[in-house]
Amino acid sequence: MKIIHQQWHPPHAVETHTKKHSRAHGRPLIRRTVRLILAMTILLVGFVKDAKSQDIHLSHIHASPTYINPAMTGLFNGDLRFIANYRSQWETFTNGFQTFLGSADMKLNQGFGLQDDVGAGIQLSTDRAGDLNFRTTSANFTLSYLKALNGIGDHFITFGISNGIVQNSLDLTNLKVFDDDPYLQGGDFDPNLTYYDLSAGAAWFAPLRRNDFVYVGGSIFHLNQALVSFRSGERSTQPGTNLIPRYILHGGASIRVSQVAELKPSFIFFDQSPHREFNVGSFVKITRETRSYLRPEYAFYAGFWYRWSIKDGEFNRDALIASLRYDFRNTVFSFSFDLNISPLSKASKGFGGPELSIMHFIDFIRPERKRVKVKCPEV
């Protein structure tokens, strides 16, 4: 990440009327920033309200950075980023998963060091699965701090946290056979469950040569291990009702192989005992019409990832993920598709599920008003 300093003037060289003038011009910027935050919150609340949603599982890891690691908040070129994801899974043989994920994050142009920065964001998700419409809906706020490790800012580490509210619910109107089940007839059964969730992560980025770089990150979700049970009495008396932490290790690189082509290998490992999986693969990126150091005029990506499920220390083949991406100016369109190659493929006919995502970047802070100019690596 390359950072360019603006000229700094010592305090004795700044006149009083200049300070007043700067404050006067700063107020409209603050008001615009507040309006943008309110607008993106309203937009995302509407997005989730109309969507339906269980435990979220996304294959296109490059299109959901803050969901994988809160330390990725604000880590992009631009001032504001919107992301929308949709995934459908296993619709061919069951009432499968329908997943919607929306997020917005921004840089705050702050930091203790001249080359440091702070990121903040909001993330809303909803997921539905099964005939009982088991839904998981969440609203999380993320915060990150980017710390430069050298004088030019292309070597850095980031830390991030995510916290928010999660609601699980069941639609019992479709449940007919077990209406007399004492489990459901108990007065303490509640088809709606709400709890607080806390997560944290970190990531490290290092330059290789010129625009090449390598990165690795890790995150832990459900740090507070919330009590989760649809029977309120079990939330404090029964073992095994705590949310199991989810551990993620991820990383990748960007390696230029020609004037217009780059390799972008990446991997990710999930562990939420007893469920574990490992994905590895690569994009090939072709860039055309590079007119800005921040973002190309347009670029095309194509890639494959292989996913294994891990049980009892053994790697079992699970899916082949094909992915396409197209960047056009400030907007990114991505499409991924899972080809199921596990024993489940006999029932699914190899159809895992499609995944769509759209990212949009906005630059609203004038360059002369930015404390630092940051060029973040594209992951």
Structure confidence at residue 359 as a pLDDT band (50, 70, 90) = very high
Residues 327, 328, 329, 335, CA torsion sign? negative
Closest CA to 253 of 216, 295, 303, 280: 216
Q: Which token pair is 288?
A: 């055309």
Closest CA to 146 of 71, 34, 252, 58: 71
pLDDT given for residue 34 in this prediction: 47
Structural domain spans, the chain: 2-375
Structure confidence at residue 14 as a pLDDT band (50, 70, 90) = very low
pLDDT given for residue 346 in this prediction: 60
Residue 53 has pLDDT above 80, yes or no: no
Q: Does domain 2-375 have CATH number 3.80.10.10?
A: no
pLDDT given for residue 3 in this prediction: 42
pLDDT given for residue 349 in this prediction: 59
- The whole-number average pLDDT for the span 54-72 is 84
Please state, in angstroms and rounded to a whole number, the distance separating the CA atoms of residues 351 and 338.
Answer: 7
Per the model's pLDDT, the better-predicted residue between 86 and 329 turns out to be 86
First-last CA distance in the chain: 12
* Tens-digit pLDDT profile for residues 79-108: 899 999 999 876 555 566 788 999 999 988
| Pairing label, strands 331-340, 351-362 | antiparallel
pLDDT given for residue 39 in this prediction: 47
pLDDT given for residue 4 in this prediction: 42
Residue 270 has pLDDT above 90, yes or no: yes
pTM listed for this prediction: 0.78
Please state, in angstroms and rounded to a whole number, the distance separating the CA atoms of residues 137 and 51.
Answer: 10
Residue 257 has pLDDT above 80, yes or no: yes
- The whole-number average pLDDT for the span 320-326 is 95
Per the model's pLDDT, the better-predicted residue between 297 and 135 turns out to be 135
Residue 176 has pLDDT above 80, yes or no: no
Per the model's pLDDT, the better-predicted residue between 33 and 168 turns out to be 168
Share of the chain above pLDDT 70, in %: 68
Q: Which token pair is 333?
A: 């369109």
Helix (H) or strand (E) holding 37: helix 16-49
pLDDT given for residue 367 in this prediction: 66
Residue 44 has pLDDT above 60, yes or no: no
**By mean pLDDT, which of 63-67, 91-95, 269-273 is the weakest?**
91-95
Please state, in angstroms and rounded to a whole number, the distance separating the CA atoms of residues 176 and 132.
Answer: 11
Structure confidence at residue 1 as a pLDDT band (50, 70, 90) = very low
pLDDT given for residue 266 in this prediction: 96
